[in-house]
Amino acid sequence: MERGPIESLVHRLFAGLYGIPVLGWLIPIVLVLGMVALAALVLIWLERKVSGHIQSRRGPLHNGPHGLLQTVWDALKLLVKEDIVPSSADRLIMLMAPFVVFTPAVLVYVVMPFGKGWTVANLNIGLLWVVSVLSLGPVGIILGGWGSHNKWSLLGGMRSAAQLISYEIPSVLALGAIVMMAGTMSMDGLVAAQDQYEFVLTPPGLIAFVVYLVTALAELNRNPFDLPEAESELVAGFVTEYSGFKFAIFFLAEFANLLALSMITVTVFLGGWQPPSVLFFLPDSAQLPGVFWFAIKTTVMVFVFQWIKWTLPRLRIDQMLNVCWKGLIPITLGNLALACVWLLLTEKSWAR
Amino acid sequence: MGPGIDSRDYVQAFIFLIGALVFLLVPLGLALLFRPNQPGGLKHTTYECGEEPIGSAWFRHPIQYYLIALVFIVFDVEAIFILPWAVQARALIREGLGLFAFTEMTIFAGILLLGWYYALRKGALEWLK
């Protein structure tokens, strides 16, 4: 078959130019970045709307229908704002911080199963990749706090460090119980392991789900764990000295993380892109594409996170640490034992 | 994908890393063109709600933060060791080695809980009043 020059170039870009599938490698990152940018715009608007309605006010209203364009104008405004750096600050570290905060939020999406066969790279260490990449975010927050040379920023950064490293442990241990039941760490494998019922419907899965929800709130710096940027105590925490688009990047990263953690919760506990097992009486539900279910479940999880944030007051730092070290860690270790018992009960070969 | 490692997957991850950095550099570069730049005056002072900052912000910190970080390292390494065991747990039970797997992890987690109890009694997890 004859191909025109452009057509053959496109074909070669897909199939491999000198053995490198250029488009095959570039399309996923472009799609993911587009999704993150769009999601951040929508989620910031949603956050303000949800908070408004929870607090008996209306939220953004005037720019576009229901204030939908509010975030767009906000982003444009931040783009043309002067970039003010305090003269005593460490300029390089302050510039690095937004990059270090945002990059992990994008790297998480490498292993995300958006739908059936819709994973960018199905790493066999998927869940470990998620945990380790997400733990890089706090480094950026500490860099921002340190580089700003401001007491508010530094206190916010230090609090954030204490909080995030503490809550990482129950988070990993809660996921450990799920890994035991699934027998794999690959994200596709975790979804496939839930083809009968979601892990949240099993006793160890339910405990792990609740613990993971709490740790996710802590990792997102959301109420009741918003000590790193507690407005009424620390002005704006680690972002106090930031202005212009660097300031915007921190919020972009925050909402990229919110979306990522919602997607992880959906994948690990709620069956990923498969239709919910409680809808088994709807035979048609399996006909809908997996991306549809994934999007619905993710939206619900995002709303739950926002709902919790705007309902609960803030914890004190010693309470925050007590919840983790004296509450969640013993619970998750006990949950691993419970998962052992559950495995023995469900494993049919136990009978022989 | 099987149990093998496909290095192309990690190239993909590296491309994501580069893509994220480029994604941030583009608007920052655009902002350079649009934003005003009028340095000088009081706006470069450290913001402390209008007060003159006293001393440097790079001061000594409560030891508590470092204690938490030290205990964290112990538990984080342990979490990494639990995950490979967790992947194999079901397979081990299937092969009839369930008791072995369970005893092994009980000993491991037991030593760890002992360390946790020690840190608790020593007050490493108490915030200074």
Q: Give the rounded percent of residues in chain A with a pLDDT score beyond 90.
A: 7
In a domain, A9, yes or no: no
Q: Which residue has the higher pLDDT, A352 or A248?
A: A248
The Cα of B89 is separated from the nearest Cα of chain A by a number of Å equal to 6
CATH class of B7-122: mainly alpha
State what percent of residues in chain A have pLDDT above 70.
Answer: 90
Question: Where do the domains of chain B lie?
Answer: 7-122
- Number of domains observed in the structure of chain A: 1
Query: What's the confidence (pLDDT) of residue A12?
Result: 64
- Scanning B74-93 for CB atoms below 8 A from A yields 75-76, 79-80, 82-83, 86-91, 93
10 Å CB burial of residue A91 (0-12, 13-18, 19+) is exposed
CA of B12 to nearest chain A CA: how many angstroms apart?
6
What is the tens place of the pLDDT at every residue in A271-299?
888 888 777 677 666 677 778 888 888 99
In chain A, which residues have their Cβ closer than 8 Å to the Cβ of B118?
Answer: none
The dihedral formed by the CA atoms of A100, A321, A130 and A341, expressed in degrees to the nearest 10: 170
Q: Which of B19, B65, B112 sits opposite A33 (nearest CB)?
A: B19
Q: List all residues 6 or more positions away from A332 whose beta carbon is below 8 Å from its beta carbon.
A: A169, A170, A173, A174, A176, A177, A207, A208, A211
pLDDT per residue as tens digits for the range B29-85: 888 888 777 777 777 777 777 677 777 777 777 778 888 888 888 888 888 888 888
State residue A209's pLDDT score. Answer: 92
pLDDT grade, residue A211 (50/70/90)?
very high
For A122-177, what is each residue's pLDDT tens digit? 788 888 889 888 888 888 888 888 888 888 888 888 888 888 888 888 898 899 88
Q: Does A345 touch chain B (CB under 8 A)?
A: no
Average pLDDT over residues A191-195: 83
**Are B20 and A322 an interchain contact pair (Cβ–Cβ within 8 Å)?**
no
Question: Which residue on chain A is closest to B4 by alpha carbon?
Answer: A124
Average pLDDT over residues A221-229: 75
Q: What is the mean pLDDT of residues A108-113?
A: 88
User: Does the CB of B121 have a partner CB in chain A at under 8 Å?
Assistant: no
The answer to whether B33 contacts chain A (CB < 8 Å) is no
Mutate to test the interface with A, among B23, B26, B59 (most CBs of A within 10 A): B23
Q: Rounded to two decimals, what is the model's pTM?
A: 0.85
Q: Given an 8 Å threshold on Cβ–Cβ distance, is A245 in contact with B68?
A: no
> To 10 degrees, the CA torsion angle through A231, A235, A239, A245?
90
Q: How far A281 CA sits from the closest chain B CA (Å)?
A: 30
* CB spacing of A184 vs B87 below 8 angstroms: yes
Q: What is the pLDDT, as a whole number, of residue A26? A: 80
A107 interfacial to chain B (CB closer than 8 Å): yes
What part of A 14-43 touches B (C-beta under 8 Å)? Answer: 25-26, 28-30, 32-33, 37
Contact B127 A318 (CB under 8 A): yes
Instruction: Determine phi and psi for A20, rounding to 5 degrees.
Output: -110, 115
Q: Report the range of poorest mean pLDDT among A10-24, A157-171, A172-186.
A: A10-24
Within 8 A of B50 by CB-CB distance, chain A residues are: none
CB contact under 8 A, B125 and A165: no
pLDDT at A13 over 70: no
In order of A104, A123, A213, the CA distances from A109 in angstroms are: 9, 12, 19
Confidence of residue A350 (pLDDT cuts 50, 70, 90): very low
* Averaged pLDDT for residues A176-200: 85
Q: Do A25 and B125 touch (CB under 8 A)?
A: no
- Whole-angstrom Cα distance, residue A241 to residue A84? 8
Least confident segment among A117-131, A241-255, A280-294, B108-122: A280-294
- Asked if the structure places residue A23 within a domain, the reply is no
Is residue A288 situated within a structural domain?
Answer: yes
Query: Are the beta carbons of A180 and B28 separated by less than 8 Å?
Result: no
pLDDT of the residue at B128: 67
Is it the case that residue A352 has pLDDT exceeding 50? no
Residues A255, A44 contacting (CB under 8 angstroms):
yes
pLDDT of residue A18: 64
Chain B contact set for A168 (CB, 8 A): 72, 76, 79
B7 shares contact with chain A (CB less than 8 Å): no
Cβ A15 vs Cβ A21: under 8 Å: yes
The verdict on a CB contact (< 8 Å) between B76 and A333 is: no
- Pick A86's closest partner by Cβ from B13, B46, B80: B46
Which one has a higher pLDDT value, B113 or B6? B113
Map chain A to HEC letters. CCCCHHHHHHHHHHHCECCECHHHHHHHHHHHHHHHHHHHHHHHHHHHHHHHHHCCCCCCCCCCHHHCCHHHHHHHHHHCCCCCCCCCCCHHHHHHHHHHHHHHHHHHHHHCECCCCCECCCCCCHHHHHHHHHCCHHHHHHHHHHHCCCHHHHHHHHHHHHHHHHHHHHHHHHHHHHHHHHCCCCHHHHHHCCCCCCHHHCHHHHHHHHHHHHHHHHHCCCCCCCHHHCHHHHCCHHHCCCCHHHHHHHHHHHHHHHHHHHHHHHHHHCCCCCCCHHHCCCHHHHHCCHHHHHHHHHHHHHHHHHHHHHHCCCCCHHHHHHHHHHHHHHHHHHHHHHHHHHHHHHCHHHHC
Q: Which residue has the tokens 């640490």?
A: A321
Q: Region A31-57: what's the mean pLDDT?
A: 87
Choose between B93 and A12: higher pLDDT: B93
Say whether B75 and A169 touch across the interface (CB within 8 A). yes
B26 lies within 8 A of chain A by CB: no
**Mean pLDDT score, A72-84:** 83
- Least confident span in A8-12, A83-87, A178-182, A239-243: A8-12
Q: Quote the domain boundaries for residue A85.
A: 81-351
Residues whose CB is less than 8 angstroms from the CB of residue B129 and which lie 6 or more positions away in sequence, other chains included: none
pLDDT at A351: 44
